[in-house]
């Protein structure tokens, strides 16, 4: 048993070294501790590994999302355990209801908001306590789950061992080893019941997909980790080439609008163009005092297919181009590309076009053509001249708005009764960002009602109000 403990703690020590900790003397080490097995094992091993010249500080955050008896007890358990180990513990309690209200009003993911709030607290502690490294307890299983989750969402990326002062010393340690380490020392831990909620994608992967792969595909996890390694090596080179290419396009950053040379951009390789575009959009967003938008974060707001389509447009023979997505406007002439980022209020997301006459515009990867035909307005969405979807709104006239979902939106049902748009999306089982489904609003009357939901563009249904002539 003693040998197993020593082996585990040596693995954690090697994880610290691999994450960049070259010396263990006179450091201030922070540790995120939720009370779960991973973080309790990490804290315990750090206490045994680090020399006395090191100061260890635990940080626990009560998000107040789960039932009070669970979340408060978790935080209290962490405090009690830290007291038993003589470790300083900083506890932060988020105001009850704050995250849920913000998620609902801004139509955002509750999990993502909780993560953002948690990292704000971690960064505050790092600054206040002058922390050298801040340890997070992600393990090898988390790493594989993240790879699968990102693959299913269209990318190959995992959890980094180090980002700024954040390090993950357990990334090469399996969850079974963590639980064994605690079991043989008779150390208890808390269990978050939401980890068993399979409506959450990560949990679905953990409890449904991975057990199936384990039973049916021999050696799959090793193959996935090898793919991660190959991809990270490729990414290192691509980042270097992209940074070099970025200097070639003569990117010019000004107070409101950024620009770069279109012909220099067109000469780049396709994969480099994508990365250069993300970097240009990110630099412009940061310059305009928007939210933190590193390229990896920005890619969550502006999907890859939009950037790919934009890259194709900018490399074409078209003399003039206008493109809008997620509060970003790009205009191009023969010589230059101009980027303008809308300075959103905290509650603003999505898109909004006012259409007062027949008009062509770009919505994400679609060329949208809005035409008037007799008493109808007809929208046609196409990609590269190939017709994809058509939406006809009978007995409708300009002006109208083509916009994203807004909190509190309602639309009439077949009986003329107003129904929540959010409820409609839920009935459609549309689990993605509601802001991506275009809502068509009539602006010609005082009531200005919604008259259609163009869900077909997102692979779901349409909702069209029948209006009288």
For the stretch 190-199, pLDDT in tens is: 998 888 888 8
**Eight-state DSSP code of residue 208:** I
Give the pLDDT score at 298: 46
Among 372, 373, 379, 380, smallest CA distance to 398 is for 372
Cis peptide before 399 (omega within 30 of 0): yes
Please check whether residue 425 is in contact with residue 406, taking contact to mean a CB–CB distance below 8 angstroms.
no
Residue 13, SS3 per DSSP: helix
Residue showing tokens 């999907």: 303
Model confidence pLDDT, tens digit, residues 95-115 = 888 888 887 776 677 888 899
User: How does residue 235 score in pLDDT terms, banded at 50, 70 and 90?
Assistant: confident
Residue with the larger pLDDT of the pair 203 and 323: 203
pLDDT, residue 299, reads: 45
pLDDT exceeds 90 at position 407 = no
The yes-or-no verdict on residue 209 having pLDDT over 90 is yes
Place of tokens 């980022």: 341
Q: What's the burial of 110, exposed, middle or buried (CB within 10 Å: 0-12/13-18/19+)?
A: middle
What is the pLDDT confidence band of residue 207, given thresholds at 50, 70 and 90?
very high
Place of tokens 């998000």: 63
pLDDT at 150 over 80: yes
pLDDT at 431: 66
The C-alpha torsion from 100 through 101 and 105 to 110, rounded to 10°, is: -10
Characterize the bridge pairing of strands 28-32 and 133-135: parallel
**435 pLDDT above the threshold of 90:** no
Q: What is the per-residue pLDDT for 38?
A: 97
Per-residue pLDDT band at 464 (split at 50, 70, 90): very high
Is pLDDT of 77 > 90? yes
Percent of the chain with pLDDT over 90: 51
Distance (Å, whole) CA 82 – CA 297: 34
pLDDT at 350: 60
Q: What share of the chain is helix, strand, coil (3-state, %, to 5)?
A: 45, 20, 35
The least confident of 123-127, 258-262, 340-344 is: 340-344
Give 275-305 pLDDT, tens digit per residue.
999 888 888 776 554 444 444 444 445 677 7
pLDDT given for residue 348 in this prediction: 39
First and final C-alpha spacing in the chain: 82
Residue 405: name the closest of 432, 387, 382 by CA.
432
pLDDT at 334 over 60: yes
Q: Which two tokens stand for residue 456?
A: 């077909």
pLDDT given for residue 307 in this prediction: 83
- Residue 2 is predicted with a pLDDT of 84
| Residue 433 clears pLDDT 80, i.e. is over it | no
Q: How far is the CA of 8 from the CAs of 1, 172, 177, 178, 218, in angstroms?
A: 11, 11, 8, 8, 26
Residue 40 confidence class, pLDDT cut points 50, 70, 90 = very high
pLDDT of residue 241: 95
Look up residue 116 and give its two tokens: 């953002």
CA distance linking residue 174 with residue 140, whole number of Å? 5
Contact 359, 432 (CB under 8 A): no
Measured between alpha carbons, how far is residue 323 from residues 36, 57, 242, 343, 382 in Å? 46, 48, 23, 17, 15
What was the pLDDT predicted at 293?
Answer: 40
- The pLDDT confidence band at residue 388, using thresholds 50, 70 and 90, is confident
Mean pLDDT across the stretch 368-392?
A: 86
Mean pLDDT of the chain: 87
The whole-number average pLDDT for the span 314-339 is: 85
DSSP per-residue codes, 3-62: HHHHHHHHHHHHHHHHTT----TT-EEEEE--SSHHHHHHHHHHHHHS-TTSEEEEEEEE
Least confident range from 136-150, 202-216, 406-420: namely 406-420
Across the range 388-408, mean pLDDT stands at 87
Question: Could you give the angle at the alpha carbon of 306 between the alpha carbons of 303 and 312, nearest 5°?
Answer: 140
Instruction: Show the tokens assigned to 278.
Output: 């993300």
**Coil, helix or strand for 134?**
strand
């Amino acid at each position: 048993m003693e040998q197993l403990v020593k082996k585990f703690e040596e693995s954690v020590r090697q994880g610290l070294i691999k994450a960049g900790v070259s010396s263990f003397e006179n450091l201030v080490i922070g540790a995120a501790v939720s009370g779960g097995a991973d973080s309790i094992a990490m804290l315990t091993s750090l206490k045994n590994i680090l020399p006395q010249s090191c100061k260890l500080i635990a940080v626990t955050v009560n998000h107040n999302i789960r039932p009070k008896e669970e979340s408060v007890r978790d935080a209290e358990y962490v405090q009690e355990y830290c007291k038993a180990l003589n470790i300083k513990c900083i506890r932060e309690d988020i105001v009850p209801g704050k995250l849920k209200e913000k998620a609902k009003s801004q139509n955002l993911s509750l999990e993502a908001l909780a993560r953002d709030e948690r990292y704000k607290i971690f960064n505050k502690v790092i600054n206040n306590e002058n922390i050298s490294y801040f340890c997070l307890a992600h393990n090898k299983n988390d790493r594989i789950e993240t790879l699968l989750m990102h693959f299913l969402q269209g990318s190959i990326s995992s959890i980094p061992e180090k980002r700024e002062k954040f390090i993950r010393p357990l990334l090469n340690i399996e969850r079974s080893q963590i639980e064994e380490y605690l079991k043989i020392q008779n150390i208890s831990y808390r269990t978050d019941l939401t980890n068993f909620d399979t409506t959450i994608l990560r949990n679905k992967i953990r409890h449904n997909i991975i057990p199936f792969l384990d039973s049916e595909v021999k050696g799959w996890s090793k193959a996935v980790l090898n793919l991660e390694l190959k991809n990270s090596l490729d990414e290192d080179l691509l980042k270097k080439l992209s940074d070099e290419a970025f200097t070639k396009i003569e990117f010019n950053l000004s107070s409101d609008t950024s620009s770069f040379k279109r012909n220099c951009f067109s000469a780049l390789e396709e994969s480099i163009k994508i990365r250069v575009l993300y970097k240009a959009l990110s630099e412009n967003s940061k310059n305009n005092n928007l939210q933190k938008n590193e390229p990896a974060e920005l890619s969550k707001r502006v999907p890859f297919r939009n950037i790919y389509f934009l890259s194709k447009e900018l490399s074409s023979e078209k003399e003039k181009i206008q493109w809008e997505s997620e509060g970003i406007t790009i205009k191009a002439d023969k010589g230059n590309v101009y980027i303008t980022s809308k300075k959103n209020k905290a509650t603003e997301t999505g898109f909004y076009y006012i259409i007062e006459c027949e008009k062509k515009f770009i919505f994400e990867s679609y060329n949208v053509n809005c035409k008037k035909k007799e008493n109808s307005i007809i929208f046609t969405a196409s990609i590269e001249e190939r017709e994809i979807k058509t939406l006809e709104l009978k007995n409708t006239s300009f002006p109208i708005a083509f916009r994203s979902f807004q909190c509190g939106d309602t639309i009439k049902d077949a009986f003329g009764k107003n129904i929540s748009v959010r409820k409609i999306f839920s009935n459609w089982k549309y689990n993605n960002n509601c802001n991506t489904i275009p809502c068509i609003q009539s602006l010609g009357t005082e009531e200005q009602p919604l008259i259609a939901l163009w869900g077909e563009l997102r692979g779901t249904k349409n909702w069209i109000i029948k209006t009288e002539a």
